[in-house]
Amino acid sequence: MIQTDVVIIGAGPCGLFQVFELGLLGLKSHVVDSIRQPGGQCTELYPDKPIYDIPGIPVCTGEELTEGLLKQIEPFEPGMHLNEEVTVVRKDGENDFFVETSAGTQFNAKAIVIAGGVGSFQPRQMRVPRVDNFEADNLHYHVQDPKKFAGKRIAIMGGGDSALDWVIELAGIAEFITLVHRRDEYRAVPASVEKMRKLVAEGSVTAIENAKVASVDMSDGIIRSITLNIKDGDAVEVPVDDVLVFFGLAPKLGPIADWGLDLNRKTINVDVEKFETSVPGIYAVGDINFYPGKKKLILCGFHEAAMAAFAIKQQVEPDKKVRVQYTTTSPLMHERLGVED
Protein backbone atom coordinates (compact mmCIF):
# COMPACT_ATOMS: atom_id res chain seq x y z
CA MET A 1 0.00 0.00 0.00
CA ILE A 2 1.23 3.48 -0.93
CA GLN A 3 1.45 5.98 1.93
CA THR A 4 0.96 9.58 0.84
CA ASP A 5 -0.32 12.91 2.08
CA VAL A 6 -2.87 13.46 -0.68
CA VAL A 7 -4.50 11.46 -3.47
CA ILE A 8 -5.59 13.70 -6.33
CA ILE A 9 -8.31 12.27 -8.55
CA GLY A 10 -7.88 13.79 -12.00
CA ALA A 11 -4.78 14.76 -13.99
CA GLY A 12 -6.24 17.74 -15.81
CA PRO A 13 -4.86 21.29 -15.40
CA CYS A 14 -6.40 21.77 -11.95
CA GLY A 15 -5.23 18.39 -10.71
CA LEU A 16 -1.68 19.07 -11.93
CA PHE A 17 -1.62 22.55 -10.41
CA GLN A 18 -2.91 21.03 -7.18
CA VAL A 19 0.28 18.94 -7.08
CA PHE A 20 2.29 22.17 -7.36
CA GLU A 21 0.44 24.01 -4.60
CA LEU A 22 0.65 21.03 -2.24
CA GLY A 23 4.32 20.55 -3.08
CA LEU A 24 5.14 24.14 -2.14
CA LEU A 25 3.68 23.36 1.28
CA GLY A 26 5.76 20.21 1.64
CA LEU A 27 2.96 17.72 0.95
CA LYS A 28 3.40 14.62 -1.23
CA SER A 29 0.79 13.76 -3.87
CA HIS A 30 -0.24 10.82 -6.01
CA VAL A 31 -2.45 11.50 -9.04
CA VAL A 32 -4.96 9.02 -10.47
CA ASP A 33 -6.74 9.45 -13.82
CA SER A 34 -8.89 7.13 -15.89
CA ILE A 35 -7.39 8.24 -19.20
CA ARG A 36 -3.96 7.28 -20.52
CA GLN A 37 -2.26 10.65 -20.50
CA PRO A 38 -2.27 13.71 -18.24
CA GLY A 39 -4.08 16.85 -19.30
CA GLY A 40 -7.76 15.94 -19.02
CA GLN A 41 -9.97 17.86 -21.42
CA CYS A 42 -6.96 19.86 -22.64
CA THR A 43 -5.34 16.80 -24.22
CA GLU A 44 -8.43 14.69 -24.90
CA LEU A 45 -10.72 17.29 -26.43
CA TYR A 46 -8.64 20.25 -27.66
CA PRO A 47 -4.90 19.49 -27.67
CA ASP A 48 -4.25 21.72 -30.70
CA LYS A 49 -6.82 24.44 -30.05
CA PRO A 50 -5.67 27.81 -28.67
CA ILE A 51 -6.37 28.92 -25.09
CA TYR A 52 -6.21 32.69 -24.52
CA ASP A 53 -7.13 33.19 -20.86
CA ILE A 54 -4.17 31.79 -18.90
CA PRO A 55 -2.52 34.67 -16.98
CA GLY A 56 0.85 35.65 -18.40
CA ILE A 57 0.47 33.36 -21.42
CA PRO A 58 -1.16 35.25 -24.31
CA VAL A 59 -1.91 32.02 -26.16
CA CYS A 60 -1.13 28.32 -25.80
CA THR A 61 -2.66 25.03 -26.86
CA GLY A 62 -4.15 22.52 -24.45
CA GLU A 63 -1.14 20.29 -25.02
CA GLU A 64 1.31 23.12 -24.38
CA LEU A 65 -0.46 24.06 -21.15
CA THR A 66 -0.28 20.45 -20.00
CA GLU A 67 3.42 20.22 -20.85
CA GLY A 68 4.09 23.41 -18.88
CA LEU A 69 2.22 22.15 -15.82
CA LEU A 70 4.06 18.82 -15.94
CA LYS A 71 7.36 20.70 -16.08
CA GLN A 72 6.28 22.88 -13.17
CA ILE A 73 5.53 19.91 -10.88
CA GLU A 74 8.72 17.96 -11.68
CA PRO A 75 10.49 19.05 -8.45
CA PHE A 76 7.78 17.37 -6.37
CA GLU A 77 7.96 13.97 -8.13
CA PRO A 78 4.27 13.09 -7.84
CA GLY A 79 3.16 9.52 -8.36
CA MET A 80 1.19 9.26 -11.61
CA HIS A 81 -1.33 6.43 -11.98
CA LEU A 82 -2.87 6.78 -15.45
CA ASN A 83 -5.48 4.54 -17.06
CA GLU A 84 -6.77 3.77 -13.56
CA GLU A 85 -10.12 4.78 -12.10
CA VAL A 86 -10.62 5.30 -8.37
CA THR A 87 -13.26 2.76 -7.38
CA VAL A 88 -13.10 2.71 -3.57
CA VAL A 89 -12.87 5.58 -1.11
CA ARG A 90 -13.50 5.02 2.60
CA LYS A 91 -12.30 6.22 5.95
CA ASP A 92 -9.25 4.38 7.29
CA GLY A 93 -9.06 5.06 11.00
CA GLU A 94 -9.99 8.40 12.51
CA ASN A 95 -8.26 10.77 10.10
CA ASP A 96 -6.98 8.85 7.07
CA PHE A 97 -8.57 7.51 3.89
CA PHE A 98 -8.25 4.19 2.06
CA VAL A 99 -8.28 4.60 -1.72
CA GLU A 100 -8.23 1.81 -4.32
CA THR A 101 -8.18 1.95 -8.12
CA SER A 102 -9.50 -0.29 -10.86
CA ALA A 103 -5.95 -1.64 -11.29
CA GLY A 104 -5.78 -2.68 -7.62
CA THR A 105 -3.44 0.15 -6.57
CA GLN A 106 -4.08 1.01 -2.93
CA PHE A 107 -3.32 4.19 -1.00
CA ASN A 108 -3.45 5.42 2.56
CA ALA A 109 -3.89 9.19 2.40
CA LYS A 110 -4.52 12.02 4.82
CA ALA A 111 -6.70 13.89 2.32
CA ILE A 112 -8.30 13.50 -1.10
CA VAL A 113 -8.74 16.15 -3.78
CA ILE A 114 -11.27 15.45 -6.51
CA ALA A 115 -10.15 17.36 -9.62
CA GLY A 116 -12.12 15.23 -12.02
CA GLY A 117 -13.23 17.94 -14.44
CA VAL A 118 -16.68 16.95 -15.62
CA GLY A 119 -16.16 13.38 -14.41
CA SER A 120 -14.34 10.41 -15.86
CA PHE A 121 -14.35 10.26 -19.65
CA GLN A 122 -15.87 7.18 -21.24
CA PRO A 123 -15.95 6.52 -25.00
CA ARG A 124 -19.34 7.03 -26.62
CA GLN A 125 -20.43 3.60 -27.73
CA MET A 126 -21.50 2.43 -31.15
CA ARG A 127 -25.23 1.82 -31.10
CA VAL A 128 -26.85 -1.01 -32.98
CA PRO A 129 -30.64 -0.91 -33.45
CA ARG A 130 -32.52 -3.20 -31.04
CA VAL A 131 -29.30 -4.13 -29.18
CA ASP A 132 -28.43 -2.72 -25.74
CA ASN A 133 -24.76 -2.22 -24.75
CA PHE A 134 -23.42 -3.76 -27.95
CA GLU A 135 -20.07 -5.51 -27.55
CA ALA A 136 -17.79 -7.60 -29.77
CA ASP A 137 -14.26 -8.96 -29.53
CA ASN A 138 -13.11 -6.95 -32.56
CA LEU A 139 -14.85 -3.69 -31.57
CA HIS A 140 -12.32 -1.11 -30.31
CA TYR A 141 -12.64 2.34 -28.76
CA HIS A 142 -8.93 3.08 -28.60
CA VAL A 143 -5.77 1.81 -30.30
CA GLN A 144 -2.98 0.35 -28.19
CA ASP A 145 -0.89 -1.30 -30.92
CA PRO A 146 -1.39 -0.11 -34.52
CA LYS A 147 0.54 -3.13 -35.82
CA LYS A 148 -2.34 -5.31 -34.66
CA PHE A 149 -4.31 -4.08 -37.67
CA ALA A 150 -1.70 -4.98 -40.29
CA GLY A 151 -3.32 -6.57 -43.32
CA LYS A 152 -6.83 -6.15 -41.88
CA ARG A 153 -10.01 -4.71 -43.34
CA ILE A 154 -10.97 -1.95 -40.92
CA ALA A 155 -14.05 0.18 -40.50
CA ILE A 156 -13.37 3.45 -38.67
CA MET A 157 -16.47 5.16 -37.33
CA GLY A 158 -16.48 8.91 -36.67
CA GLY A 159 -15.72 12.29 -38.18
CA GLY A 160 -13.54 14.06 -35.65
CA ASP A 161 -9.81 14.43 -35.11
CA SER A 162 -9.31 10.98 -33.58
CA ALA A 163 -11.13 9.16 -36.38
CA LEU A 164 -9.23 10.92 -39.15
CA ASP A 165 -5.91 10.71 -37.33
CA TRP A 166 -6.26 6.92 -37.22
CA VAL A 167 -7.40 6.75 -40.84
CA ILE A 168 -4.17 8.52 -41.79
CA GLU A 169 -2.03 6.50 -39.35
CA LEU A 170 -3.38 3.10 -40.36
CA ALA A 171 -3.61 3.72 -44.10
CA GLY A 172 -0.12 2.31 -44.60
CA ILE A 173 -0.71 -0.61 -42.24
CA ALA A 174 -4.20 -1.99 -42.84
CA GLU A 175 -5.20 -3.81 -46.02
CA PHE A 176 -8.15 -1.46 -46.50
CA ILE A 177 -9.99 1.18 -44.49
CA THR A 178 -13.63 2.20 -44.67
CA LEU A 179 -14.38 5.51 -42.97
CA VAL A 180 -18.01 5.82 -41.87
CA HIS A 181 -19.40 9.21 -40.87
CA ARG A 182 -22.99 10.25 -40.16
CA ARG A 183 -22.49 13.60 -41.92
CA ASP A 184 -20.64 14.90 -44.98
CA GLU A 185 -18.84 17.60 -42.96
CA TYR A 186 -15.99 16.72 -40.63
CA ARG A 187 -15.04 18.11 -37.21
CA ALA A 188 -11.32 17.42 -37.69
CA VAL A 189 -8.67 20.00 -38.49
CA PRO A 190 -8.64 20.94 -42.20
CA ALA A 191 -5.19 19.40 -42.80
CA SER A 192 -6.44 15.98 -41.65
CA VAL A 193 -9.55 16.24 -43.81
CA GLU A 194 -7.35 17.07 -46.80
CA LYS A 195 -5.08 14.07 -46.14
CA MET A 196 -8.09 11.79 -45.80
CA ARG A 197 -9.54 13.04 -49.11
CA LYS A 198 -6.19 12.33 -50.76
CA LEU A 199 -6.19 8.75 -49.44
CA VAL A 200 -9.72 8.30 -50.78
CA ALA A 201 -8.62 9.58 -54.18
CA GLU A 202 -5.67 7.15 -54.14
CA GLY A 203 -8.04 4.26 -53.43
CA SER A 204 -6.62 3.08 -50.08
CA VAL A 205 -9.59 4.45 -48.14
CA THR A 206 -13.32 4.52 -48.83
CA ALA A 207 -15.37 7.23 -47.15
CA ILE A 208 -19.06 6.49 -46.63
CA GLU A 209 -20.83 9.66 -45.53
CA ASN A 210 -24.34 10.40 -44.24
CA ALA A 211 -24.44 6.83 -42.96
CA LYS A 212 -25.80 5.10 -39.85
CA VAL A 213 -25.40 1.54 -38.63
CA ALA A 214 -28.50 -0.47 -39.55
CA SER A 215 -27.38 -3.93 -38.45
CA VAL A 216 -24.33 -6.03 -37.67
CA ASP A 217 -23.59 -9.56 -38.85
CA MET A 218 -21.81 -11.48 -36.09
CA SER A 219 -20.59 -14.98 -35.31
CA ASP A 220 -18.63 -16.27 -32.32
CA GLY A 221 -18.54 -12.78 -30.82
CA ILE A 222 -16.84 -11.33 -33.92
CA ILE A 223 -18.27 -8.67 -36.23
CA ARG A 224 -18.13 -10.03 -39.78
CA SER A 225 -19.83 -7.14 -41.57
CA ILE A 226 -21.73 -3.93 -40.92
CA THR A 227 -24.80 -2.86 -42.88
CA LEU A 228 -25.17 0.89 -43.24
CA ASN A 229 -28.19 2.95 -44.15
CA ILE A 230 -27.17 5.81 -46.42
CA LYS A 231 -29.23 9.00 -46.35
CA ASP A 232 -31.33 9.17 -49.49
CA GLY A 233 -29.74 5.95 -50.73
CA ASP A 234 -29.55 2.19 -50.45
CA ALA A 235 -28.13 0.03 -47.70
CA VAL A 236 -24.43 -0.85 -47.98
CA GLU A 237 -22.76 -3.91 -46.44
CA VAL A 238 -19.14 -3.46 -45.36
CA PRO A 239 -17.09 -6.63 -44.62
CA VAL A 240 -14.68 -6.06 -41.72
CA ASP A 241 -11.98 -7.70 -39.65
CA ASP A 242 -12.00 -4.94 -37.01
CA VAL A 243 -14.14 -1.93 -36.14
CA LEU A 244 -12.68 1.20 -34.54
CA VAL A 245 -15.14 3.67 -33.02
CA PHE A 246 -14.25 7.31 -32.32
CA PHE A 247 -17.49 9.07 -31.44
CA GLY A 248 -15.80 11.19 -28.79
CA LEU A 249 -15.84 10.95 -25.02
CA ALA A 250 -18.78 11.36 -22.67
CA PRO A 251 -18.22 12.59 -19.11
CA LYS A 252 -19.70 10.49 -16.33
CA LEU A 253 -19.56 11.12 -12.60
CA GLY A 254 -18.80 7.41 -12.17
CA PRO A 255 -17.99 5.97 -8.72
CA ILE A 256 -17.80 9.49 -7.22
CA ALA A 257 -21.59 9.40 -7.00
CA ASP A 258 -21.37 6.56 -4.44
CA TRP A 259 -18.97 8.20 -1.96
CA GLY A 260 -21.58 9.91 0.19
CA LEU A 261 -20.80 13.44 -1.02
CA ASP A 262 -23.37 16.21 -1.20
CA LEU A 263 -24.00 16.55 -4.92
CA ASN A 264 -25.56 19.21 -7.11
CA ARG A 265 -26.64 17.23 -10.15
CA LYS A 266 -23.32 16.12 -11.65
CA THR A 267 -21.14 18.39 -9.53
CA ILE A 268 -19.98 18.35 -5.90
CA ASN A 269 -20.99 21.04 -3.43
CA VAL A 270 -18.03 22.70 -1.65
CA ASP A 271 -17.49 25.62 0.70
CA VAL A 272 -15.65 28.66 -0.61
CA GLU A 273 -13.10 28.92 2.20
CA LYS A 274 -11.43 25.53 1.89
CA PHE A 275 -13.17 24.00 -1.14
CA GLU A 276 -13.95 21.06 1.11
CA THR A 277 -16.88 18.78 0.37
CA SER A 278 -19.51 17.59 2.83
CA VAL A 279 -17.05 14.86 3.88
CA PRO A 280 -14.21 16.34 5.99
CA GLY A 281 -10.85 15.65 4.39
CA ILE A 282 -12.23 15.35 0.84
CA TYR A 283 -11.88 18.45 -1.31
CA ALA A 284 -13.01 19.26 -4.86
CA VAL A 285 -11.51 21.76 -7.31
CA GLY A 286 -12.10 22.67 -10.93
CA ASP A 287 -15.16 21.95 -13.05
CA ILE A 288 -16.29 19.09 -10.79
CA ASN A 289 -17.24 21.40 -7.90
CA PHE A 290 -20.13 23.78 -7.31
CA TYR A 291 -20.67 26.84 -5.13
CA PRO A 292 -22.64 30.07 -5.58
CA GLY A 293 -21.10 32.10 -8.38
CA LYS A 294 -19.06 29.17 -9.71
CA LYS A 295 -17.38 29.80 -13.06
CA LYS A 296 -15.92 26.89 -15.02
CA LEU A 297 -12.62 28.49 -15.95
CA ILE A 298 -9.11 27.04 -15.62
CA LEU A 299 -8.06 30.23 -13.83
CA CYS A 300 -10.77 29.73 -11.18
CA GLY A 301 -9.69 26.12 -10.71
CA PHE A 302 -6.11 27.25 -10.06
CA HIS A 303 -7.36 29.59 -7.31
CA GLU A 304 -9.40 26.75 -5.78
CA ALA A 305 -6.35 24.46 -5.82
CA ALA A 306 -4.28 27.03 -3.92
CA MET A 307 -6.96 27.53 -1.27
CA ALA A 308 -7.50 23.77 -0.89
CA ALA A 309 -3.75 23.21 -0.46
CA PHE A 310 -3.58 25.59 2.52
CA ALA A 311 -6.65 23.97 4.06
CA ILE A 312 -5.13 20.50 3.66
CA LYS A 313 -1.84 21.65 5.19
CA GLN A 314 -3.74 22.95 8.22
CA GLN A 315 -5.74 19.71 8.41
CA VAL A 316 -2.60 17.57 8.28
CA GLU A 317 -0.73 19.73 10.83
CA PRO A 318 -3.50 21.21 13.02
CA ASP A 319 -1.12 22.41 15.75
CA LYS A 320 0.98 24.54 13.41
CA LYS A 321 0.12 27.88 11.88
CA VAL A 322 0.26 27.73 8.10
CA ARG A 323 2.01 30.86 6.87
CA VAL A 324 2.01 32.23 3.37
CA GLN A 325 5.51 32.23 1.92
CA TYR A 326 6.42 33.68 -1.45
CA THR A 327 8.33 31.83 -4.14
CA THR A 328 10.17 35.06 -4.98
CA THR A 329 11.89 35.35 -1.60
CA SER A 330 11.38 32.27 0.58
CA PRO A 331 14.46 30.03 1.01
CA LEU A 332 12.12 27.17 2.01
CA MET A 333 10.12 27.56 -1.21
CA HIS A 334 13.36 27.63 -3.20
CA GLU A 335 14.56 24.48 -1.45
CA ARG A 336 11.34 22.63 -2.27
CA LEU A 337 11.50 23.83 -5.87
CA GLY A 338 15.16 22.85 -6.18
CA VAL A 339 16.15 26.45 -6.92
CA GLU A 340 19.48 27.85 -5.80
CA ASP A 341 19.33 31.17 -3.93
pTM across the whole model = 0.71
User: What pLDDT tens digit does each residue of the chain (341 aa) get?
Assistant: 999 999 999 999 999 999 999 999 999 999 999 888 899 888 877 777 899 999 999 999 999 999 999 999 999 999 999 989 999 999 988 889 999 999 999 999 999 999 987 666 677 888 888 777 788 899 998 887 899 999 999 999 999 988 999 999 999 899 999 999 999 999 888 999 999 999 999 999 999 999 999 999 999 999 999 999 998 778 999 999 999 999 987 767 778 888 999 999 889 999 999 999 999 999 999 999 999 999 999 999 999 999 999 999 999 999 999 999 999 999 999 999 999 87
Measured N-to-C along each axis, helices 13-24 and 298-316 cross at an angle, to the nearest 10 degrees, of: 40
Q: For strands 176-180 and 96-101, give the pairing.
A: unpaired
pLDDT value of residue 113: 98
- What Cα–Cα distance (Å) separates residue 61 from each residue in 20, 47, 73, 119? 20, 6, 19, 22
What would the 3-class secondary structure string for the chain be?
Answer: CEEEEEEEECCCHHHHHHHHHHHHCCCCEEEEECCCCCCCHHHHCCCCCEECCECCECCEEHHHHHHHHHHHHHHHCCEEEECCCEEEEEEECCCEEEEEECCCCEEEEEEEEECCCCCEEEECCCCECCECCCCCCCEECCCCCHHHHCCCEEEEECCCHHHHHHHHHHCCCCCEEEEECCCCCCCCCHHHHHHHHHHHHHCCEEEECCEEEEEEEEECCEEEEEEEEECCCCEEEEECCEEEECCCEEEECHHHHHCCCCEECCEEECCCCCCECCCCCEEECHHHEECCCCCCCHHHHHHHHHHHHHHHHHHHCCCCCCCCCCCCCCHHHHHHHCCCC
Q: CA neighbours within 13 Å on the CB side: how many for 326?
A: 2
Chain center to CA of 307: 24
| Structural domains of the chain in order of their starting residue, each with its CATH number | 2-122+250-337 (3.50.50.60), 125-247 (3.50.50.60)
Q: What is the pLDDT of residue 117?
A: 79
Determine the pLDDT at residue 334: 96
Distance CA 76, CA 66 (A): 16
